[in-house]
Structure 1
Amino acid sequence: MTAPAEPSQPPGAHISRGEWGLILLLMAIQFTHMVDFVIIMPLGGRLIDELSLKEAQFAHIVSAYAWAAGVASLAASFVMDRFDRKTVLLTMYAGFTLSTLFCGLAAGYELLLLSRTLAGAFGGTAAVALMSVIGDVFPPEKRGRASGAVMSSFAVASIAGLPAGLMLAEWFGRGAPFLVLAALSALVWALVWSKLPPVRGHLTANRPNRWAEFGEVVSNRTYLGAFAFSFFLVLGTFTVASFIGPYLKALNGWTERQLAQLYFVAGACTLVGMTVVGRLSDKFPRLTLFRVIGSAALLMAVVVTHLPPGPLWVAAVVMSGFMVVAAGRMVPVQALLLGVAGPKNRGAFMSVNTAVQHAATGLAPLIAGALVTLNPLPPVGFENVGWVAAVTAAVSLVLAGVLKPAPADKSPLDAIDAPAPDARGLPEAHDNRGPVVAKPALPARDTPDEPTPEIAKVVS
């Protein structure tokens, strides 16, 4: 099954200043979420020592985040599309901020496990709401750049967030990174509350009941194909990513500082690569672009898992290549996935899809752990992980053909500041001359219904 040919992207579809302001807000949210997600792994040795944890207990702390995010995302699919996107995002992000604070204050295994579970649940749901905002606000010709910019937060987290967090832990103890991250998240929450306008265009007067709406999503053949695609795409990436650091460290006898240098270089290359791919995804057919980059990711998964012992710079080049293509292929994929569902049930679709991806994220380390033996040295079995990743990548290349764009109900920009239905299920009466993006950030005017020059730039 193949997707219909994508139309060429319209020339001159530039992202305005107001839209970049929105993207920066979403990037800040995603950055804090990504730092919280990845910081726990390099802190493993310190947590095991300071909290007297067993290795199995630490593994539970790491995996609890992904499983909780998956379950919460699935549960959110029942209600995600019934509320203003801004309300959902602020509520889930507030829960994430408090949970991260509790991670920093946790004094034992049980409290830390509970805090990580809550952080995963709230953070995963906030990420779904965030991507739904992109799908509702940005038209198809801009979604690639918007998605790529937001997803580049993972690379920024690797470059800046991880080193800063490790330094804080060394200076002030294991809880310091989480306490500082919670404070930063609180600041970001306040900015989102004051700057992000309501996003209500997906709300309709007549909606099916929650179970019927959920059934509509999980029974749609196109959606089911998209879920299968997401599962195999993420599974292959994380089987490699979950053990690449420990494997290279054991293989070469490297220190944590050398590994930090490795991740810094790979993260910097990934940041540049995702920016380039984001621009390409708005100029070329995204399905074709994904298959080109996805084929490169298949090859690099095999190469990086078959590395012999060698100098750090060789590993940095190979690992950077793997991370660039593995992360870069997600940019056109995210833009494609955002177009699969219409505004009416986009939140529910993205919630279920995120749950599927988190399930793959939780399963991947179990598969890799069953194949890899790090002790006694030398480590063995990582090459088998590469073949598993190659097979799953090949499956995703085939399944990508099911990602068909949904018929557009209306322009995505109409989602901004659209009237919410009143108690009778009818839109509120008001004089709406056009969608407003930056309205909350603007000073009061004598004629509030008249678009300002800044707003006109956003919707032009």
Structure 2
Amino acid sequence: MTGARAETGSDHPDPRSNPRSLFLMLSVCNFVIGMGAFAPIGMLEPMAGALGSPVTAVAGLLTVYSIAYAASSPILVALTGRIGRRRVLTAGLALFTLAMALSALAPGIALLYPARVVAAAGAGMVTPVSLAIAAALAPPDRRGQALSLVFLGLTLSQVAGVPVGSWLAYTYGWRSVFGLVALMALPCLWLVWTRVPAGLRFSPVTLRDLGGVLRNPVALITVGFTVVFLAGIYMVYTYLPPLLSQTMGYGRDGVSLTLLIFGLGAPLGNMLGGRMADRLGPGRSLILICIAEILCLPLFALLPLPGALLLGFVFVWSLVGWCFSPSQQLRLVSLAPPLAPVLMSLHAASIYVGIAAGSGLGAMVLESAGLMALGPAAAVVALAALGVLILSDRAARRGVGAAQGRRP
């Protein structure tokens, strides 16, 4: 078990004896985190109507969450590096639960913004620490699958969380969604406190470690691959509804079905990616994934397509895209195993940066060249991601690893 130790008492079983059950529990926690993060995507209009605010103001809640997560997660993980993992996970979940409850009770949009910042801070401790636990406790030949299992909850939240949240918001009001997430988080708090061993610790990381990683060019470019790769996907995904509406003539039902098919590809791709990472290695897996994305994305310029062909294509596109996460996580852990918590927090933060960057780039392409240019432009970004991948791997092989950021 690299960079970790388990000091367990008699009331807590050693997690190494049955790590899969612990990973499943952490996956459930990440599902709740993901639902709180992504559910607002499907309820922007009912929230705007009920709050009397423009849709753009409500959409800003998503941007604030992403920025707060990216800014706070690496710092909070470093500050809590010497604290037992059970306490850190519990504190993060408690902050997240409190923020969801405050959101459900918020009298107006003014309180929702700081509540989203608090929610992002809590989530920014839970996801990276849970991934670091999986990386530390899993056998080396199963580490990719362990990471994909813990991350599965976050991908499943996009399949179930977004459509369920949307349906609840339109039927019972947007407050019911935040209230439900808060209620779902309560048993997660109990599970973490009773199932994660009290003495589970890792080699402590500090702000000095975070600073060392941020000063290391190989670590930064390796983390940057996440940003560039996801930016290519979200350049199209963010604007998929209007693209389908204008090219396929789809309305609410057609768009919803296509988004559901995309969502179904996410958890399946995540699990497939874990197996690829273990069998092929993270570098080879990511090269194949990038090439597949480069080939898939330009096909959006061929719309309209027969309905069945379109749905099959969207499913394959999603499946391939979400294969990337386990391999990327494994690459980061391999850079410097003792710094896995910091690297996982940077990876989780870079996911949200990539989403925001892709949406922004897509808007620029939309304004300058129109909807049909989104796919080809995204393919160029995917090609850039392949370049970043090759560059970072070559630098790592030359021995300029992220471990140099580790203090002696």
Equivalent residues of 1:240, 1:385 under 8 A apart: no
Find the partner of 2:342 among 348, 357, 364.
348
Decide whether the 8 Å contact of 1:83 with 1:200 is kept in 2: no
User: Is the alpha carbon distance of 1:171 and 1:400 closer, same or farther for their aligned partners in structure 2, counting shifts above 3 Å?
Assistant: same
Task: Tell me what 1:96 maps to.
Answer: 96
Which of 393, 396, 403 is the aligned partner of 2:385?
393
Q: CA deviation at 1:63?
A: 0.6
Distance 2:117 2:58 in 1: 13
1:371 aligns with 2:365: yes
Q: Is the 8 Å Cα contact of residues 297 and 375 (structure 2) preserved in structure 1?
A: no
Distance 2:103 2:317 in 1: 31
| 1:247-286 paired onto structure 2 within 5 Å | 247-286=243-282
- Hey, what's the Cα distance between the residues in 1 that align with 2:305 and 2:402? 52
- Matched-pair contact (CA < 8 Å) for 2:66–2:353: yes
How do residues 293-442 of structure 1 correspond to structure 2 at under 5 angstroms?
293-304=289-300, 306-343=301-338, 345-373=339-367, 379=371, 381-383=373-375, 385-401=377-393, 402=395
Partner of 1:450: none
Q: Cα–Cα, structure 1 residues 119 and 249, in superposed 2: closer, same or farther, change >3 Å? A: farther
Q: Which amino acid in structure 2 is aligned with residue 313 of structure 1?
A: A
Aligned length, in residue pairs: 386
| Aligned-partner Cα distance in 2 for 1:311–1:199 | 57
Aligned AA for 1:195?
R
Which deviates more from structure 2 when the two are superposed, residues 288-297 or residues 389-398?
389-398
> Which structure shows the higher helix fraction?
2
Task: Give the match's secondary structure for 2:78.
Answer: coil
In structure 2, relative to structure 1, the CA distance for the partners of 1:265 and 1:126 (3 Å cut) is same
Shift of 1:189: 1.5
Between the aligned partners of 1:278 and 1:211, the Cα distance in structure 2 is 30
**One-letter code aligned to 2:341:** G
Shift, 1:251, TM fit: 3.6
SS of residue paired to 1:81: coil
What is the Cα deviation at residue 126 of structure 1? 1.7
Q: Report deviation, 1:200.
A: 4.0
Tell me if the contact between 2:135 and 2:146 (Cα under 8 Å) persists in the aligned partners. no
Q: 1:171 to 1:62 in 2, by over 3 A?
A: same
* Alpha-carbon distance, 1:17 to partner: 7.9
Aligned mates of 2:132, 2:16 — CA distance in 1:
20
Please list every run of 5 or more consecutive structure 1 residues that lacks an aligned counterpart in the other structure: 1-14, 409-460
The AA in structure 1 aligned to 2:111 is L
Hey, what's the Cα distance between the residues in 2 that align with 1:101 and 1:317?
39
TM-score (norm 1): 0.76
| Unpaired runs of at least 5, structure 2 | 1-14, 404-408
Rg bigger for which structure?
1
| d(CA) in 1 for partners of 2:143, 2:80 | 20
Q: Does 1:167 align with 2:167?
A: yes
Q: Who is 1:187 aligned against?
A: 187
**Does structure 2 conserve the Cα–Cα contact (< 8 Å) formed by 1:134 and 1:143?**
yes
Partner SS, residue 278 of structure 2: coil
Task: Give the corresponding residue for 2:11.
Answer: none
Deviates more, 1:57-66 or 1:101-110: 101-110
Matched, 1:61 2:61: yes
How far does the alpha carbon of each residue in 1:192-228 deviate from its partner, in whole angstroms, 9 at most, with x for none? 1111114644246xx8xx5533332223343233233
2 CA distance for matches of 1:350 and 1:269? 23
Aligned-pair CA distance for 1:96: 0.9
Identity percentage of aligned residues: 21
Relative to structure 1, is the Cα distance of residues 268 and 359 closer, same or farther in structure 2, using a 3 angstrom cutoff? closer
Report how far residue 72 of structure 1 moved.
Answer: 0.7
Secondary structure in structure 2 of the residue aligned to 1:346: helix
Map 1:3-14 to 2 at 5 A. Answer: none
- 4+ runs deviating over 6 angstroms: 404-408
Determine if contact 2:135/2:143 at 8 Å carries over to the other structure: yes
Q: Structure 2 vs 1, CA of residues 286 and 387 (structure 1 numbering), >3 Å: closer, same or farther?
A: closer
The equivalent residue for 2:78 is 78
Alpha-carbon RMSD:
2.9
Matching residue of 2:219: 223
